[in-house]
Structure 1
Amino acid sequence: MEAAFAEYLDEFTRRDWETLDPAAVTDPVRVAVVGLGWFAREWALPGIARSAYTEATVVTDVDAAAVEAVAAEREATGVTPDEFRAGAVADAYDAVYVATPNATHLEYVEAAADQGKAVLCEKPLEATPERARRLVAACHDADVPLMVGYRMQTDPAVRRLRDLIDAGVAGDVVGVHATMTQTMLGELGGDHDQWRLDPDRSGGCAVMDLGVYPINTTRFALREDPVRVSGRTRSEHAAFADVDEHATFRLEFPGGVDAQCSVSQNAQHASRLEVTGTDARLILDPAFYEREDRGFAVVRDGTRVDVEFDQVHQIEAEFAYFGHQLLAGEPFHADGEHALTDSRALAAVYESAETGEPVALGDAA
């Protein structure tokens, strides 16, 4: 079986989007980092620093102590959110990375667009589809490029998975199963006051925070968008009284292909994506978390091949792509219009969970 797909896995971690020589970059894209939560501090800022195409020059957050500490650590300029929105140090950055709670993305992206800066906004775009549309429109009207932070799309494991699907190694895709679960209150520090538990700031919890990964990664791998969504949510733990703790949902894709997905913020840690075809199964396990190595396997005719490859820093790859495309004058694949499909799908899961009926995406809010 190895010979059948080996040619598609040569140089597994190759950057098939890269046309510039990273060693020749002398003026990387200067990035202002908006939001200094644990992900920005532990993953985004190191990823920006590791990428040859980017450097962090400005940081801001509502937490003044965090701004002071990170600015000193990263040798960056620290400003208040008001100063950032006013463009006080706009000459010090070329692009803006927004990693604040979902419901605050819009205000910072609008400020960046007004300043004429390229934007990398974390997913999901916003807390509601209506606000997501306003965010995309702000960048469109200002003619500034918008990329959305789907780090899975620049992960070589996901790109090779898509290569194998495109090459027909799996045969005709029959279905997809995806799981992403964690004990959020344990793994993210046990903070019961965090913004993910506030529906006004997050837009939801399990579906918004985790469900976006199987939705978007399946769309990317299949090169298709879902046409119909059904879902169910439930909450049992007191901390999740106002948001969804667990969720299961089904995405119906053209050609009769279904993706069955389960996500939870209060279950044993798991992360898996499996594409089943008429000829083979393609498996990512672990799949979605930035803090664990990805696993890649192909199963066909009773034989399983686990592919050994050099792991990459997911966030470095994401920022390398972001900076590279800006320097090369090339568009982003995961742009705002692409992300609006996810916003509609996420809203449709919640609508279906409330009504008990499937929702056609064309009918989603």
Structure 2
Amino acid sequence: MTVNDYLNGVRQRDWEELDAGTLRLAVVGLGWWTREQAIPSIRESKFCQTTVAVSSSHEKAEDAADEIPTATAAITYEEFVDGRATDEYDAVYVCTPNAYHLQYVSAAADHGKAVLCEKPMEATLERAEELVAAAEDIPLMVAYRMQTDPQVRRMRELVRDGAIGDPVAVHGHMEQQMLDFVSGNPDQWRLDPDLAGYGSTVMDLGIYPLNTARFVLDADPVSVTAQMHSEHDAFDEVPDEHATFSLQFDDGTYAACTVSQNANLSGGFQLIGTEGELRLDPAFLGMTPQTLTLRGAEGREMKIDDGRRDLFGDEMTEEFDYFADRVIRGVEPTPDGDHALVDMRTLAAIYEAAHTGTRVTVE
């Protein structure tokens, strides 16, 4: 396959094998991401429908369900755990604060339902290990939407086929003004260590360049270093309003990543090899147009803007349809829980490295 073939076919679904079918989803957790991004993306998908809305109260669940034409039930978290409306859905999308993932994935497993769980998989490595054990007998996919992003998948293929030579270095960054999402109110779960986990920014944002690098390189981290600090009063309970971390991968590649929850909305991903480089800009944060650039050793550039109007919506639709394709056909979806545990070990190591000021091995 030529480079032109890769770039011109960037919107092709290289994973789709399902001819027809519908996966009915119970959506657990109705925060702004679920209602503004996930549910509209499910509505636009080929193979998914939202049929059950699950939240902390009947009022909130019913309010969301009223806006979903395909919804047939609106239930509370407790009713979901107890098995209410299990005939109304085939699989579960879990999008609650991190520390609640375990209990709802466990409940879904008890009901024999496949799960698409948001990232990071849980608040701590230990709880993530419990989650994977609880989901042993069901299909479990962790929602790394960049892995179904068509341009990221083309980057992975180009690297595999030697388009930039041997990978040498990765640069990734992701920044946003988190407090703007909640009108300056610091009373939200990403700033609560009991709900978010080790911290706010690396857990919430750093996982994007970390996992995208793993996917594109097909490699895993072996050691990390990190620095982080918080200045704004809203971040008093977490160590990482701003953070930087470095990774060494088992293929010898190095990555340098910066993330912030209190900076201008921005994101980018660059992979440099011995014979060229790949750049995705902007990346991660739903900014369009998203452009994939291949630059060769002689300075030649090839660029493609894949024409997406709504980057979050398109990425999420790809993710939900991929999940449905695998579950309906009885094929184990990836990335699975074991894949996500590598990220959880790496996240724990990053926070340890920042706390101790030392290089930490990922074990």
TM-score (norm 1): 0.94
The answer to whether the aligner puts 1:14 opposite 2:15 as a matched pair is no
1:65 deviates by: 3.3
Task: Give the whole-Å Cα distance in 2 for the aligned partners of 1:190 and 1:256.
Answer: 42
Contact 1:13/1:310 (<8 A) preserved? no
Stretch deviating more after TM superposition (200-209 or 63-72): 63-72
Secondary structure of the structure 2 residue equivalent to 1:36 = coil
Deviations along 1:49-69, one digit per CA (max 9) or x if unpaired, are 111111110011115432121
Q: What is residue 210 of structure 2 aligned with on the other side?
A: 215
Q: Percent identity?
A: 50
Q: What is residue 279 of structure 1 aligned with on the other side?
A: 275
1:187 deviates by: 4.2
1:329 deviates by: 1.4
Task: Give the whole-Å Cα distance in 2 for the aligned partners of 1:166 and 1:188.
Answer: 41
Stretch deviating more after TM superposition (248-257 or 351-360): 248-257
Contact 1:101/1:201 (<8 A) preserved? yes
Deviations along 1:127-148, one digit per CA (max 9) or x if unpaired, are 00000000000010xx111000
Task: Give the whole-Å Cα distance in 2 for the aligned partners of 1:293 and 1:35.
Answer: 30
Q: What is residue 306 of structure 1 aligned with on the other side?
A: 303
Task: Give the whole-Å Cα distance in 2 for the aligned partners of 1:302 and 1:74.
Answer: 50
Task: Give the whole-Å Cα distance in 1 for the aligned partners of 2:230 and 2:143.
Answer: 28
1:186 deviates by: 1.5
Contact 1:175/1:276 (<8 A) preserved? yes
1:354 deviates by: 0.5
Correspondence 1:120-135 to 2 at 5 A: 120-135=116-131
Task: Give the whole-Å Cα distance in 2 for the aligned partners of 1:188 and 1:152.
Answer: 25
Task: Give the whole-Å Cα distance in 1 for the aligned partners of 2:128 and 2:300.
Answer: 45
Correspondence 1:1-365 to 2 at 5 A: 5-21=3-19, 24-25=20-21, 28-75=22-69, 76=71, 77-140=73-136, 143-203=137-197, 204-243=199-238, 244-290=240-286, 292-300=288-296, 301-311=298-308, 313-362=314-363
Contact 2:81/2:107 (<8 A) preserved? yes
Task: Give the whole-Å Cα distance in 2 for the aligned partners of 1:236 and 1:63.
Answer: 35
Contact 1:297/1:306 (<8 A) preserved? yes
Task: Give the whole-Å Cα distance in 2 for the aligned partners of 1:250 and 1:59.
Answer: 40
1:4 deviates by: 5.6
Deviations along 1:204-238, one digit per CA (max 9) or x if unpaired, are 10000001101100000000001111111100000
1:305 deviates by: 2.5
Task: Give the whole-Å Cα distance in 2 for the aligned partners of 1:237 and 1:157.
Answer: 36
Q: Where do 5+ consecutive residues of structure 2 fail to align?
A: none
Deviations along 1:111-165, one digit per CA (max 9) or x if unpaired, are 100001000000000000000000000010xx11100000000000100111111
Task: Give the whole-Å Cα distance in 2 for the aligned partners of 1:200 and 1:36.
Answer: 19
Letter in 2 for 1:113: A
Task: Give the whole-Å Cα distance in 2 for the aligned partners of 1:37 and 1:230.
Answer: 33
Task: Give the whole-Å Cα distance in 2 for the aligned partners of 1:163 and 1:188.
Answer: 39
Deviating beyond 4 angstroms after TM superposition, the runs of 4 or more aligned structure 1 residues are: none
Stretch deviating more after TM superposition (81-90 or 288-297): 288-297
The number of aligned residues is: 354
Letter in 2 for 1:201: L
Secondary structure of the structure 1 residue equivalent to 2:221 = coil
Letter in 2 for 1:169: A
Letter in 2 for 1:105: H
Letter in 2 for 1:15: R
Q: Where do 5+ consecutive residues of structure 1 fail to align?
A: none
Letter in 2 for 1:308: D
Deviations along 1:244-289, one digit per CA (max 9) or x if unpaired, are 2011001101242100000000011110000001111100011111
Letter in 2 for 1:53: F
Letter in 2 for 1:14: Q
Secondary structure of the structure 1 residue equivalent to 2:66 = helix
Secondary structure of the structure 2 residue equivalent to 1:179 = strand
Task: Give the whole-Å Cα distance in 2 for the aligned partners of 1:167 and 1:341.
Answer: 25
Task: Give the whole-Å Cα distance in 1 for the aligned partners of 2:93 and 2:287.
Answer: 20
